[in-house]
Amino acid sequence: MFDNQHPYYLCDSRSGVKQGFATLDQAREALLSWILLQRQAGELMIEHDTGQWSDSRITRWIIDHEGRVVSLESVKG
């Protein structure tokens, strides 16, 4: 699942799909875009202590090449 071309993945609890990204910034942008779209659609977005984000139907999060969750908090600065 992990490779040098895609060291970061955006995970999706509903489909189980892990979308690969070459950089953390790209993965972060994809997650933030999803959060913004859900908020614009009126969804309540919940940030979990684990670094995962959920709306009423799905949870998404970023993992690194070692399978560790990378929270948005850790990459904001």
- Please answer whether residues 68 and 75 qualify as being in contact, where contact means their C-beta atoms are separated by less than 8 angstroms: no
Question: Residue 65: how many CB atoms within 10 A of its CB?
Answer: 13
Who contacts 46 (Cβ-Cβ below 8 Å, separation ≥6)? 53, 54, 55
Q: Tell me: pLDDT of 3 over 90.
A: no
Question: According to the model, what pLDDT value does residue 74 have?
Answer: 60
Q: Look up the pTM and report it.
A: 0.86
Residue boundaries of the structural domains of the chain: 8-72
User: Is the pLDDT at 19 greater than 90, yes or no?
Assistant: yes
* 25-77 residue pLDDT tens: 999 999 999 999 999 999 999 999 999 999 999 999 999 999 999 998 764 44
What was the pLDDT predicted at 18?
92
